[in-house]
Amino acid sequence: MSDYKFIFSGPVGVGKTTAIGAISDVAPVTTDEQASDMTKAQKSGTTVAMDYGMIKLGDRERIHLYGTPGQERFDFMWEILTQGGIGLILLIGNNRPDPFSDMHFFLKAFKDFIGRSKVVIGVTKMDLTDKPRIEDYHLQLEDCGVKIPIFEVDARMKGDVSLLIEALLYSLDPGLEG
Amino acid sequence: MSKAPLTPVRLAAVGMDQRQRNALRMLFTTQCNNRYVLMEEDSSEICILDLDVFGGERLWEEFRERHPDRPLILVSLKPGEIADAHTLFVQKPIPVNQLIAAIEQQRRLLSTRNKTCSQVESGAPHPIAKNNHQTATPQPGKKNTPRRAASLMSASKEKIFVGTSPDIDPKDPAQLTKVYYKPDHYLQGIIQQALNQAVRYNKNIAIEGPWPAIILDIEKHKIWVSAEERQLRPYCTVPDATLEVPLRIIEVDEASPIGRREFPIQAFLWQLALWASRGRLPHGTDLFQPIYLRRWPNFTRLVMTPYALAIAALWAEQPRSLIGTAETLDIPQRYVFAFYSAAHAIQLAGETRRAVDTLIEPPAVKPSQNRGLFGRLLNRLRGG
Ligand SMILES: Nc1nc2c(ncn2[C@@H]2O[C@H](COP(=O)(O)OP(=O)(O)OP(=O)(O)O)[C@@H](O)[C@H]2O)c(=O)[nH]1
Ligand SMILES: [Mg+2]
């Protein structure tokens, strides 16, 4: 049996648990709890430990999908979590107070992991707030030297989440057949 | 003047800009184990001269006046014929192995010269043939097994967006003319002009003609169309060289969406470009000039043609020519052309203009060790 993993990360309430659920073969294991006072205004359940989902390919390969909890901003656990990871799916909520600083924060937090793998960014909740636009996110990253795929996604849509992962796979290997 | 065998070969880049020099320097340190160093012309043994820089031919003449027999490697995008015993020609973008082969050949020329001068007893002599031919050898024939068709699009949709044109031989002028279309002869060009005007005056624009009414709302970045797609499509697919540009600046309220279909401007233009181009290229696009991708298209909200992700990923890494892209990915040219036309229409892709981008051939794609797994996952995500 071969095991591989992808990491989903991003701020609180941007759709990490939902995105994992959208593509997982098994019912996602989450440890959502009644929201603390801080996040209560935003939604009813927030993930306090970690999300887990899985995609089975035949009976010999498994892709594990891990989601970091949104509440703490950064934890030393995350670096451990990324060991052996294939790539990072970063979700940013367009309706959050400062989505650019969210993006910069997470890119910096996962800098080492991104350095040895690849990252894609999904901007969620653009149906709720249409500004900033996707171009504005690209402009924020103009000086960073690498061209990161940034797509508008709705974490509830399987097709959107799948396309993010497809872009991640092609970033890792543009010669991939398919 | 005998040299220790490990002394690096001293090269100079004549007429090249700082970016090109840096690219060579990087190549020498990372891929040639520092066997070569880049120096000023005066202290160099072998020179590389780019014929494509402004006044390149004259630079070459002047160089030969200064150094009648210094070993020289000429590079250019155009194939060249050089009749001169001290000069080799390598066509750009330079394949790394051909550059090294040329440098080594010139190095041997130098060492035979040195040996003859100092009468050191000969090792195996390397007769230098007259080099009135390119060092470029044809690449070993690529296997022409077509890749599995991407399952993203139905065949009928693919025909509409990518067409069915076979690959062309870019060296055949007759075939070349078939590969181009003029965006201005389609609704695509008109919408592009409307967008330019709208941006310039920061006003909404009505695009009026025989087609269903179209309104461009610059503030919301939307297009409103008062008809179904199928009523619009004929104007997007049939060329009309007499198209006028009936643009009218309008007030905000006129753009109100009652009874109209709404599209993001970029997605609309992208689709119009695919419809018009059907696997062809905007008139005049150079097939050999490397193409840059300014940024990844927002694929979740655009019509995705087969192989678009692979092409985008390749160009996001490094500019590559249209022909080179089709060869590298081993896919029919029309997929590359269609993607380029759409990305170009919304200014995400274009031809590189910097000299450094055509200097060295982009490396082959290294298959990742997980390629098999990635392929299986891809299939699964696409519902296979
Ligand atoms: N309108 C809208 N809702 C979305 C979108 N993506 C996700 N959601 C919803 O946002 C809510 C929060 O999603 P979760 O998946 O719980 O977010 P999370 O990132 O796991 O949150 P934490 O675990 O608290 O960090 C859910 O109700 C989702 O259905 C989107 O693009 N648009
Ligand atoms: Mg969660």
**What count of other Cβ atoms lies within 10 Å of the Cβ of residue B59?**
16
Report the pLDDT value the prediction gives residue A40, as an integer from 0 to 100: 46
Q: Which ligand is nearest to the CA of A157?
A: 1
Q: Looking at ligand 1, which residue's alpha carbon is closest to its atom 1? A: A125
CA A6 to centroid of ligand 2, rounded, Å: 15
Residue A154 in contact with ligand 1 by CB distance below 6 A: yes
ipTM of the complex: 0.90
Residue type, A84: G
Report the pLDDT value the prediction gives residue A6, as an integer from 0 to 100: 96
Residue A117 in contact with ligand 1 by CB distance below 6 A: no
Give the chain B residue nearest A23 (alpha carbons): B381
Q: Which ligand is nearest to the CA of A15?
A: 1
- Give pLDDT tens digits for A24-75: 988 877 766 554 444 444 555 666 667 899 999 988 899 999 998 876 665 6
Q: What is the SS3 assignment for A67?
A: strand
Report the pLDDT value the prediction gives residue B116, as an integer from 0 to 100: 63
pLDDT at A177 over 90: no
CA distances B133 to A26, B47, B85, B121, B170, Å, are 63, 18, 11, 31, 22
* A147:B370 CB<8 A: no
d(CA A42, CA B342): 39
**What angle separates helix B333-345 from helix B322-329, to the nearest 10 degrees?**
130
Start-to-end Cα distance in chain A: 24
d(CA B330, CA B326): 6
Q: Looking at ligand 1, which residue's alpha carbon is closest to its atom 3? A: A125
Report the pLDDT value the prediction gives residue B209, as an integer from 0 to 100: 83
Burial class (CB within 10 angstroms; exposed 0-12, middle 13-18, buried 19+) of B8: middle
* B381:A23 CB<8 A: yes
**What count of other Cβ atoms lies within 10 Å of the Cβ of residue A114?**
19
- Give pLDDT tens digits for A97-136: 999 999 999 999 899 999 999 999 999 999 999 999 999 9
d(CA A131, CA A94): 7
Average model confidence (pLDDT) for chain A? 87
Give me the residue spans of the domains in chain A.
Answer: 2-172
| Cβ contacts from A onto B, under 8 A | 110
CA B74 to centroid of ligand 2, rounded, Å: 60
* Domains of chain B (ranges, CATH numbers): 9-122 (3.40.50.2300), 148-180+274-381 (no CATH), 184-265 (no CATH)
Which residues of chain B are under the pLDDT cut of 70? 1-6, 81-83, 116-152, 252-259, 384
Q: What percent of chain A is modeled with pLDDT above 90?
A: 64
Lookup result for tokens 């590359």: B336
Asked if A169 has any chain B CB less than 8 Å from its own CB, the reply is: yes
Asked if A143 has any chain B CB less than 8 Å from its own CB, the reply is: no
Residue A94 in contact with ligand 1 by CB distance below 6 A: no
Q: What percent of chain B is modeled with pLDDT above 70?
A: 85
Query: Is A2-172 a CATH 3.30.365.10 domain?
Result: no
* A167:B380 CB<8 A: no
User: pTM for this structure?
Assistant: 0.78
Report the pLDDT value the prediction gives residue B382, as an integer from 0 to 100: 86
Rounded mean pLDDT, A149-172 = 96
Give the chain A residue nearest B369 (alpha carbons): A173
